[in-house]
Amino acid sequence: MKVLVIASLFTAFIALVVYLTSIIAVHGIRKSISDSNYFLRKPYKLVFEIVMWVCGLAIIITGIFIKESADWWVIGGGIGIFLVGVFSDFKRNLFIRIAHYVSAIGGFALLGLSYYFSFGNIEYTIIIAISALIATGFADKRIWCLELTMAAEIFVGLFYLAHTIM
């Protein structure tokens, strides 16, 4: 199962990096990662959704197999990230916007808290919280930097945990 978890995390991380690199190369840094979806045209219109689904599913798979019993903090965070892709058209109406924001904030929050509540690592949870505050406090594109910071730290932490405890 360790190979499945690490392979799925690696695939999701590479998909996210390739997506973000492509967006930056073609359209520059956007207001947020989700906002970049509005700059995509056919045949690339579903790429953002697919990347969020891949990331969410990889995190859910990690939550299922990282410990002997399912880790619901990680699974819940993965569901949140998956739902970001489901509610990707957040500018369409208020319901979708609320669902999108709740999914994104909830997913990242659950994943950040999982390091303490599931794995007993309060230091990493504090590092994530402090770096999130720094990213939003000092960056020009605050949401973009916050999302990148959170995504990088979540993936690094899950890679590390999958490698060390499985």
Q: What letter does residue 34 receive in the DSSP assignment? A: G
Flag whether pLDDT at 163 surpasses 90.
Answer: yes
Q: Which tens digit of pLDDT belongs to each residue from 108-135? A: 999 999 999 999 999 999 999 999 999 8
Q: Which tens digit of pLDDT belongs to each residue from 49-88? A: 999 999 999 999 999 999 999 999 999 999 999 999 999 9
3-state secondary structure of 53: helix
Per-residue pLDDT band at 136 (split at 50, 70, 90): confident
Q: Which of 59, 64, 78, 51 is nearest to 159 (CA)?
A: 59
pLDDT above 90 coverage of the chain, percent: 90
Flag whether pLDDT at 138 surpasses 90.
Answer: no
Query: What sign results for the dihedral spanned by CA atoms 158, 118, 142, 56?
Result: positive
Question: What is residue 51's predicted lDDT score, i.e. its pLDDT?
Answer: 98
Q: Do 103 and 93 meet the contact criterion of CB atoms below 8 Å apart?
A: no
Burial class (CB in 10 A: 0-12, 13-18, 19+), 86: middle
Q: Do 15 and 54 meet the contact criterion of CB atoms below 8 Å apart?
A: yes
Could you tell me the pTM of the whole model? Answer: 0.94
Q: Do 51 and 85 meet the contact criterion of CB atoms below 8 Å apart?
A: yes
Q: Please report where in the chains the tokens 């690094």 appear, as a residue.
A: 156
